[in-house]
Structure 1
């Protein structure tokens, strides 16, 4: 009963914000292979991303419409296993604290994508209960290696939602080590990208500009083609 009460309170609180929401999940690979320049650059660029939205008056609308969740990986020292972890739960950017990532453990990408989809489905339920309009959800995956768990069910779910135009997935692999085909399995569109570490800023700049385009569009207007075209302009490493 308490869970229902808390959920209803959340719905009422969120419904006070009249802005249509842009639900976005960022999955950040925090496995050991990201240690060093990659994780440092990721931390620097996600900090810039938060500042660009919260401190730039040109992006004022995004402070209240971009509804973001951030996921990473957490290594359990006792079980010697790595699990998905919610770094930042869903909230509009005005309420968010900038995350800081540490690199350690493996790459449970399949279970993390499943967690992201579960969170998006619950978030959409909250929107509907609160009468909150929302745009097509976006999932951005930033990784540098191959998954260490099965991605079968997560990939199937992501593909099915994408084909129904209920999700857009944008996967990025940093460096030369990972197999890009693994990330490609999460989207029916051939848009997975391999980039250099120094090109990571382009991903976050794209996310800001895309969210802005979405926020300025009609709630029923298909913006997917436009932002995907911009995505294709990001440099391949």
Structure 2
């Protein structure tokens, strides 16, 4: 187990929790504008969570990055108005996506065990995978296949919601698509679309914890796939129509 738990880690609220783990690509191709936009989007997302009592008391966030190695940048913990967000940096050429996803799943599983120990109910965990490339590095494809199987098994049992997100044109969308058996196509964004993406994630998390939006609605968007992925604008249209 990757985490140790104490009652203080969960605060005094007994609200049902939504654990979200971000698995983020920090390979060399993310340097410059993409990583800056990613950081801004994350900051805005966390700020929106903190600004609302429902989401602040219900949403648990962890961040891992995968580059030359997998790092747990921010473990799960109670969100406070004072807690800042570490800056994500890109500085390598490797892309161990599979290892990153497997680590994220370990974190989510450990968090669920913590909820059970504390007697706290929880929503289906979210895994948000953002990459601009394809698996690279030692055992990269082997780990990717293990990650795909693990995600598929959890989704099949309604124990995980997967957001498989590709940035730009260098993504292996066919492989990224396989991370989810419920989403028809992965989500496709440009590096300038991170604000829209995190707005969508913020709106969705708020809808889940505040108004009981179903997990299936996060997959069955009333949109038509475009090529090998669904554009993030289609997801924003869904949110607009749902309000």
Please report the TM-score for the alignment, with normalisation by the length of structure 2: 0.82
Comparing 12-21 with 38-47, greater Cα deviation is found at 12-21
**Helix, strand or coil: the match of 2:35?**
helix
Which residue pairs with 1:79 in the alignment? none
Which residue pairs with 1:190 in the alignment? 184
Distance 1:30 1:11, change over 3 A: same
Structure 1 runs of 4+ with >3 Å offset: 230-233
Counterpart selection for 2:202 from 203, 208, 229:
208
**Helix, strand or coil: the match of 1:110?**
helix
Counterpart selection for 1:234 from 225, 232, 235:
232
1:34 maps onto 2:20 in alignment: no
**Structure 2, gaps ≥5 residues long:** 224-229, 235-243
Which residue pairs with 2:77 in the alignment? 91
In structure 1, C-alpha distance between the alignment counterparts of 2:135 and 2:54, rounded to whole Å: 36
Which residue pairs with 1:63 in the alignment? 56
Contact 1:11–1:127 (CA under 8 A) maintained in structure 2: no
1:147 maps onto 2:132 in alignment: no
Counterpart selection for 1:48 from 39, 44, 49:
44
**Structure 1, gaps ≥5 residues long:** 75-81
Distance 1:12 1:36, change over 3 A: closer
Structure 1 position 180, deviation (Å): 0.7
Q: In the comparison of the two structures, how many residue pairs are matched?
A: 218
Structure 1 position 96, deviation (Å): 4.1
Distance 1:165 1:131, change over 3 A: same
CA offset digits 1:141-162 (Å, max 9, x no partner): 1110111112011110000000
Structure 1 position 226, deviation (Å): 2.3
In structure 1, C-alpha distance between the alignment counterparts of 2:78 and 2:42, rounded to whole Å: 15
In structure 2, C-alpha distance between the alignment counterparts of 1:233 and 1:117, rounded to whole Å: 26
Which residue pairs with 2:170 in the alignment? 177
Structure 1 position 122, deviation (Å): 0.9
Contact 2:10–2:78 (CA under 8 A) maintained in structure 1: no
CA offset digits 1:142-191 (Å, max 9, x no partner): 11011111201111000000011000101111111121112111100223
In structure 2, C-alpha distance between the alignment counterparts of 1:44 and 1:29, rounded to whole Å: 15
Which residue pairs with 1:225 in the alignment? 216
Contact 1:68–1:89 (CA under 8 A) maintained in structure 2: yes
Which residue pairs with 2:89 in the alignment? 102
Structure 1 position 65, deviation (Å): 0.8
Structure 1 position 233, deviation (Å): 7.0
**Helix, strand or coil: the match of 2:162?**
strand
In structure 2, C-alpha distance between the alignment counterparts of 1:12 and 1:230, rounded to whole Å: 41
